Amino acid sequence: MIPQEFEYDAPATLQEALALIADGERKVLAGGMSLIPLMKLRLAQPGHVVDIGRVAELNYITESGGVVRIGATATHHDIEMSAIVRGKCPLLAEAAGHIGDAQVRNTGTIGGSVAHADPAADYPAALVALEATFRLVSASSDRTVAASDFFVDAFTTALEPGEIVLEIQVPVEDPSEGYCYAKVAHPASGFAVVGVAVRVKKAGDTITMARIGVTGMSARAFRDMAVEKMLESGVEVGQATALVGEGEQANSDLYASCDYRTHLARVHAARAIRTALTRAS
């Protein structure tokens, strides 16, 4: 299908991009893997699109002071293959490798993905488990928001009109941590029916730290702090994960009912934790 007519700008600098979107009326385009299909189906009909893909200031992966900083237009492939991410935040690299297919990973960007906030996207589970923060900027502001607060609802984030995601800041993982991203992929779309990201530390057979992020199950990715506390207090993995998503309103569609999604989340949380434990030193 063909999108409706729209005006197009491709700024070369961050300042130019922020000036163009300052009124909050223009739609931002990064990799286009979410926006372009919506425009072709006319589910999105922006009158003006600002393409930030040529803004070199937004494309980087660096590490300093115990934090990995990833620019908004870094592609999924960049993140999956980055030596910095693989060495310092391997959970994020593993999640990136589960996104779409090779074409999507070579074109789609982390900033575009998180700003779109699809409830079945892969990154959010990993980012909330990693306790990442997002740096959001506009022509007149610069602030950081925790990943757990950034994802508000389905396709809804903490971004204000005129703001873009500048970078994602991820604390370096302790080398002794175990990690795992376990996903049930929808056979048609490749999106997560349910995805669970896990980080653990252990002392002997005891879990001393647990972080669990869940995507696909409800309207937004969430961190299951109740189950984390159970694991850290010595509750057995199977018993603790039987309560994953307790209190969340699970999604339901033609592929998976709310009960089935909840079941998948609990089964794959247990699998992810056990795999993470085998990786922990």
Q: List, for residues 179-235, the tens digit of each pLDDT value.
A: 999 999 999 989 999 999 999 999 998 999 999 999 999 999 999 999 999 999 999
Residues 187 and 143 placed together within one structural domain of the fold: no
Quick one: 166 and 197 in the same domain?
A: no
92: phi then psi, degrees, rounded to nearest 5: -70, -40
In this structure, what token pair is assigned to residue 26?
Answer: 């223009």
d(CA 164, CA 181): 27
- Examine the domain organization and report whether 166 and 273 are in the same domain: no
Sheet of 178-185, strand order: 178-185, 192-203, 206-215, 222-223
Q: Is 103 left (phi over 0), alpha (psi -120 to 50) or beta?
A: alpha
pLDDT at residue 81 in the model: 98
210 to 63, 134, 170, 237: CA distances (angstroms): 24, 22, 17, 11
Residue 10: band (very low, low, confident or very high) from pLDDT cuts 50, 70, 90: very high
pLDDT at 1: 72
For the chain, report the end-to-end CA distance as a whole number of angstroms. 52
In angstroms, the CA 249 to CA 262 distance is 9
Domain boundary (117, 141, 173) is at: 173
- Picking from 173, 204, 223, the residue at the C-terminal end of a domain is 173
Q: What is the pLDDT of residues 48-65, one digit of tens each?
A: 999 999 999 999 999 999
Looking at the structure, tell me whether residues 169 and 210 fall in a common domain.
Answer: no
Instruction: Say whether both 159 and 227 belong to one domain.
Output: no
Residues 169 and 219 in one domain: no
Q: What is the pLDDT of residue 43?
A: 87
Task: Look at strands 27-29 and 48-51 and give their pairing.
Answer: parallel
Mode of pairing for the β-strands spanning 61-64 and 133-137: unpaired
Examine the pLDDT at 117 and tell me if it is beyond 90: yes
91 & 77 share domain: yes
Bridge partners, residue 91, by sequence: none
Domain harbouring 22, CATH code: 3.30.465.10
- Picking from 173, 190, 205, the residue at the C-terminal end of a domain is 173
User: Is 85 in the same domain as 159?
Assistant: yes
**Contact criterion met (CB below 8 Å) for 105 and 52:** no
Q: Which domain, by its residues, includes 77?
A: 1-173
The pLDDT score that the predictor gives to residue 235 is: 97
* Same-domain check for residues 227 and 113: no
CATH label of the domain that carries residue 257: 3.30.390.50
- The neighbour count for residue 124, using CB atoms within 10 Å, is 32
The model's pLDDT over 185-195, given as tens digits with 9 standing for 90+, comes to 999 989 999 99
**Are 35 and 113 in the same domain?**
yes
Q: Both 69 and 149 in a single domain?
A: yes
Residue 227 to residue 197: CA distance in whole angstroms: 13
Number of structural domains (the chain) is 2
Same domain assignment for residues 51 and 158: yes
